[in-house]
Amino acid sequence: MSWWRTLWSPAAAIRAVRAAVLVPALFAFALLVIKSPQVATFTAFGGFASLVLASFGGTRRDRAVAHTMLTSVGAVLIVIGTLVSHSVVAAAIATAVVAFTSYYAAVIGPNDASGAAAAMLPYMLAASAAAPVGVIGDRVAGWVLATGVGGLAVVLMAPRSAGAELRRATATLAVGLADLLEAGARRAALPELRAAVVDATHRMMALFVSAPYRPSGLVIADQAMAGAVNQLEWCKGLVGDGIDRCGDLRDAPLTQRAPLEASAKVLREAAAVLRGEQVDPDLKALEQARVDSVARLTGEGRPDADPMELVVAFYGQTTANCVRAFATDVLIATRGADPLTVGDSVRRWYGMARPDRPPLRRLVTLAGVAGIVLRNASLRSVWLVNALRGALALSAAVVIVQLSGVRSGFWVLLGALSVLRTSAASTGTQAVKAIVGTAAGVAVGAALLPLLGPSPWASWGALAVAVFVVAYGPGKLPDIASQAAFTVVILVLYNILAPTGWTLGLVRLQDVAIGCLVSLVAGLLVWPRGAGDLVRDGVGEMFREGGAHLTEAVAWALGRRSHPPELEVRAAATAFRLEDALRGYLAEPGSKRMDRQGLWRLVISGVRLRQTANALDDLTPRDASPDPRCDALLRHADALAAFYANLAEQVGEPSGPMPPPLVPPSPPDDEVAGVGGDGTPAHRLRRRWVGEHLRHLELHLADLVAPAHALADQRRRPWWR
């Protein structure tokens, strides 16, 4: 019965039962009580939009707001679609604008993306055929009736949010890291604990990128959960490297062990918050442990610390800072943080953590909406390119519908919309599935409709069963099965409205094929490789920007730079675009040509590079005096940046023959790493801190050579391979 466990989903069952009851009921009310075919048609499709297509997350309040917006936006689009349906030019222009806006809305968050896709359904229905202005009232009434009742049902009967599973996985990893920290301090860093942490990390990251959109609620909470995941992944690297470098911590002074012990405690408390418990992480104690550690190393008249004590202190400081940021993001993601903390964290996410950055009110506005939109205004953004492709495909489909006079133009538009994917290859695959599924649905309908006969009860029962299958299908049933069930729904629905028999299915099959062909041509003309190219471009840009940011941050930390690093914001925007491209790539149907493990190793290394540069950026106050003996460290940072630049060149746009594998720079000696030397105690401590940060990066450079070489080789293959 393993196949049953794979297919069964309580959340899908709730969604399917809800739709199977309400869609036929609302359709029957509009047709038999209101007695208006226009109201009935838009009621039926409005029910599909709110109960099947729209999948809103967050709290009940979040869902209520999202469904209200869906109703409002859909009503406006019905008016626009009806008004432009009389003119080919107006319909093409309006469709391009609506499609671009709807696809691009995905950058704001999952609720916006899901709602925009659902709101396009009534627009396409209204714009597909010329209709008098007088029908607008009936169309809007049917849409409002269906989405209002459907939205209320979803809010009252919503299953647990999809983000809950990610939170549980993140909590599991946090507890595993706390166990590992405590085990390392007790000479018991067992291989079993490390293996469990690796498994928990893979589980968390797989959930994090498994959906096309970030699996959380609205914008700020969404960004906070993403920040928590990234911080915890970096924390995993710090803890592992710290145990490898430090070994037995029992001989280290208690003051230097305290930040690690406080970090373990806060990790457990933050995990409890993610599980829904009422716990307040003790961030004050964590910060006090970190301050005491620095005071021990920089106290007046104190001799230089033992080198191993400095290593322990470095990992204690860095881990404590990482855990504090993680716990803060957890509080924001669970809506337990105060507004001041939220504002400070928003600045940190977007590289604006210093007081010389924009004021909070303006910043939160930019970060919440405009900032996200603007950072994706690039041809390297999966959302912008996808929006351009969608606008081209759907406006072309409208022109074909208007000029050819096909009987059911709506199905051409729906066919184009339903198969449009992020690459030509995946669009073609989806088109084949849509055509095969439609043909299967026509065959089922041809056999079913004669059996239903003149009995209205049989037709209504068949409609409910078909709606159940369609609503249960997303994520659980094959695409062909869902497409076939949807075709059966349409056949039964329109035969209830005006009996025409199963031949209606042949018209639908023809129109779907036309729409699929339009999307396929658009996919070939614009962005044929799809998100895969943007992933490779994003990896290269991440390493190039990250290496440059690293050199700026090192110079700033050592007092050799008069103003803060300027590439922080650009590096953050690059990281966000890469994550979005990676989601789009993983969501594409079909097998993945890039090795996931190697690709993920590159992405995680980029996260480590960015986090290290940010940590160096925050290491020194702005009035820090220049260090006279840091030239060796600066040269070594330049060597690291050159390695990352070569890595970016290798995985970037292919030019010329296949390059040879890269060779990481040699590890530095003690002088380069900042051990000893002249200067004040603060100078010597900063040199050692910077050296340890660079060493943390060097420990993982060799792991990047093979994945980068494989990615460069794959980049040089034609897109159809």
pLDDT digits (tens, 9 = 90+) for 252-294: 677 778 888 899 999 999 999 998 888 889 889 998 988 888 7
- 481, amino acid identity: A
pLDDT confidence of residue 720: 52
Is the confidence at residue 184, as pLDDT, over 50? yes
659/502: higher pLDDT: 659
Question: Which percentage of the chain shows pLDDT scores above 70?
Answer: 66
- 335, amino acid identity: R
pLDDT confidence of residue 420: 58
The pair of structure tokens assigned to 540 is 């290269």
Q: Are 583 and 211 in contact (CB under 8 A)?
A: yes
pLDDT confidence of residue 137: 93
pLDDT confidence of residue 459: 80
Say how many CA atoms lie within 13 Å of 598 toward its Cβ.
Answer: 17
> CA-to-CA distance for 239 and 227, rounded, in angstroms?
18
Contacts of 581 (CB under 8 A, 6+ apart): 380, 381, 382, 531, 534, 535, 537, 538
Is the confidence at residue 149, as pLDDT, over 90? yes
Q: Are 70 and 105 in contact (CB under 8 A)?
A: no
Is the confidence at residue 613, as pLDDT, over 80? yes
Taking the alpha carbons at both ends of the chain, their separation in whole angstroms is: 37
pLDDT digits (tens, 9 = 90+) for 685-710: 777 778 888 888 888 888 888 888 88
Nearest of 390, 391, 395, 392 to residue 89 by alpha carbon:
395
Contacts of 361 (CB under 8 A, 6+ apart): none
Contacts of 422 (CB under 8 A, 6+ apart): 382, 386, 527, 530, 531, 584, 585, 587, 588
* pLDDT band with cut points at 50, 70 and 90 for residue 676: low
> CA-to-CA distance for 23 and 42, rounded, in angstroms?
11
pLDDT digits (tens, 9 = 90+) for 301-334: 454 556 677 778 888 888 898 899 899 888 888 8
Is the confidence at residue 217, as pLDDT, over 50? no
Q: Are 269 and 275 in contact (CB under 8 A)?
A: no
Angle at 555 between CA 552 and CA 558, to 5 degrees: 145
> CA-to-CA distance for 211 and 275, rounded, in angstroms?
21
Collapse the DSSP code of 340 into the 3-class scheme (helix H, G, I; strand E, B; otherwise coil) and give the result: helix
Most confident of 126-135, 369-378, 454-463, 521-530: 126-135
Question: Which percentage of the chain shows pLDDT scores above 90?
Answer: 10
Question: What is the arithmetic mean of pLDDT over 435-453?
Answer: 72
pLDDT confidence of residue 500: 64
pLDDT confidence of residue 243: 80
pLDDT digits (tens, 9 = 90+) for 333-356: 887 776 666 666 655 555 444 444
Nearest of 616, 594, 598, 596 to residue 546 by alpha carbon:
616
* pLDDT band with cut points at 50, 70 and 90 for residue 571: confident
With b for 16 or more beta-carbon neighbours within 10 A and e for fewer, the 191-207 pattern comes to: eebbebbeebbebbbeb
What is the number of H-type helices and E-type strands within the chain? 28, 0
The pair of structure tokens assigned to 26 is 């609302």
DSSP state of 305: P
**Range with lowest mean pLDDT among 72-76, 465-469, 510-514, 535-539:** 510-514
φ, ψ for residue 392, nearest 5 deg? -65, -45
pLDDT digits (tens, 9 = 90+) for 595-607: 667 777 788 888 8
pLDDT confidence of residue 467: 87
Q: What does pLDDT average to over the chain?
A: 76
> CA-to-CA distance for 485 and 473, rounded, in angstroms?
9
* pLDDT band with cut points at 50, 70 and 90 for residue 434: low
pLDDT confidence of residue 4: 54
> CA-to-CA distance for 708 and 690, rounded, in angstroms?
26
> CA-to-CA distance for 555 and 672, rounded, in angstroms?
14
List of domains in the chain = 9-161+378-525 (no CATH), 164-357 (1.20.58), 531-715 (1.20.58)
**Range with lowest mean pLDDT among 35-39, 141-145, 474-478, 630-634:** 474-478
Question: Is the overall model pTM greater than 0.75, yes or no?
Answer: no
DSSP state of 350: T
Task: Outline where DSSP puts E strands in 360-452.
Answer: none
Is the confidence at residue 216, as pLDDT, over 60? no
DSSP 60-83: HHHHHHHHHHHHHHHHHHHHHHHH
Is the confidence at residue 717, as pLDDT, over 70? no
**Range with lowest mean pLDDT among 551-555, 652-656, 685-689:** 652-656
Burial class (CB in 10 A: 0-12, 13-18, 19+), 148: middle
Q: Are 222 and 110 in contact (CB under 8 A)?
A: yes
pLDDT confidence of residue 182: 84
Q: Are 318 and 238 in contact (CB under 8 A)?
A: yes
Q: Are 679 and 629 in contact (CB under 8 A)?
A: yes
The pair of structure tokens assigned to 229 is 């995941």
Question: What is the arithmetic mean of pLDDT over 582-594?
Answer: 61
> CA-to-CA distance for 400 and 207, rounded, in angstroms?
40
> CA-to-CA distance for 270 and 372, rounded, in angstroms?
27
Question: What is the arithmetic mean of pLDDT over 477-498?
Answer: 76
* pLDDT band with cut points at 50, 70 and 90 for residue 139: very high
Q: Is the dihedral of CA 540, 541, 542, 548 positive or negative?
A: positive
> CA-to-CA distance for 334 and 425, rounded, in angstroms?
39
Number of C-beta neighbours around residue 517 at 10 A: 18
Contacts of 92 (CB under 8 A, 6+ apart): 395, 398, 399, 402
Number of C-beta neighbours around residue 491 at 10 A: 27
**Range with lowest mean pLDDT among 112-116, 226-230, 247-251:** 247-251
Whose tokens are 């690039």? That residue is 378
Is the confidence at residue 224, as pLDDT, over 50? yes
> CA-to-CA distance for 520 and 424, rounded, in angstroms?
6
CA distances to 9, 24, 199, 467, 680 from 5, in Å: 8, 29, 23, 22, 65
* pLDDT band with cut points at 50, 70 and 90 for residue 228: confident
Contacts of 572 (CB under 8 A, 6+ apart): 349, 350, 351, 610
**Range with lowest mean pLDDT among 59-63, 201-205, 423-427, 476-480:** 423-427
The pair of structure tokens assigned to 3 is 């196949």
